[in-house]
Amino acid sequence: MTETEQHLWLVRHGETPASRDGILAGWSNVPLTATGQDQARALRALLAMQTFTSAWSSDLDRTMTTARLAYGVVPTDERLREIHFGDLEGRPWGEVEPHHMSALMAFDGFAAPGGESLLDLRQRVMAFVAGLGPGRHLLFTHGVVIALLSREVGQKELIPTGTLRVIDWTNRRPLPAP
C-alpha cells in the first residue's frame, strides 16, 4: 500500500435476531445475538494485529457493539448506517413486494417507501468515504452499505454477518482478507 492509497476494511455487524430471521432492520436498533457477540469477538485477534489510520462505526447499536467487542470503542457516524427501509422495516424478506425485492437485489432503482433510495444511500456513504483521505480505514457497518461499496470493485455477493471484506478503494479492486 502506498501512502496515497485508500484501503477500506469493512466489517459487517454480528448476527442480530433480524438478520438471523430474515427481517429488514434498516435504521431500527436491534441487539446482537449471543452468536453475533461471538462473531465480533472472533475478529479481535485479527484486527489487533493491524494498524489503521482511522476506525469508525455506524451509530446503530449492532455496529457499535460489534466494534467494541472486535476492536474497541470507536467514533460513530450516521452516514455508515444501513439503508433506511422506511415502511419495509420490521418486515420479513419473504413478505416484501416482488418489485421492491428485485430492485434491491439488482441494486437498480430501489427506493423504500417512506425510507431511502439506493441513490440517497450512495450519496451519504460516498461523502463519508471521500472525507477519509489516504490510509487504511476500519469501518463497522451494514450489509447494504458493504454491498454498495463492494459493487464498485466488482463484488456483488453479500457478506455474512460478523465477517470482513477488504477493498483497495483507490484502485477499485478487492483485496484478500487476512
CB atoms within 10 A of CB 114: 11
Question: For residue 89, what pLDDT band results from cuts at 50, 70 and 90?
Answer: very high
Q: Which residue has the higher pLDDT, 178 or 92?
A: 92
Second-level CATH architecture of 6-175: 3-Layer(aba) Sandwich (3.40)
Residue 101's φ and ψ, nearest 5 degrees, are -60, -50
The pLDDT tens digits for 116-160 are 999 999 999 999 999 999 999 999 999 999 999 999 999 998 999
The pLDDT tens digits for 28-66 are 999 999 999 999 999 999 999 999 999 999 999 999 999
In 8-88, which residue ranges form alpha helices assigned H by DSSP?
17-21, 34-48, 61-70
Q: pTM surpassing 0.95?
A: yes
> In the prediction, which pLDDT does 177 show?
86
Domain layout of the chain by residue ranges = 6-175
Q: Which residue has the higher pLDDT, 146 or 178?
A: 146
Q: How far is CA 68 from CA 12, 21, 108, 112, 156, in A?
A: 13, 24, 34, 30, 28
Neighbouring residues of 86: CB distance < 8 A, sequence distance ≥ 6: 26, 112, 113, 114, 115, 116
- By DSSP bridging, strand 6-12 and strand 164-168 are antiparallel
Instruction: Give the active site residues.
Output: 13, 82
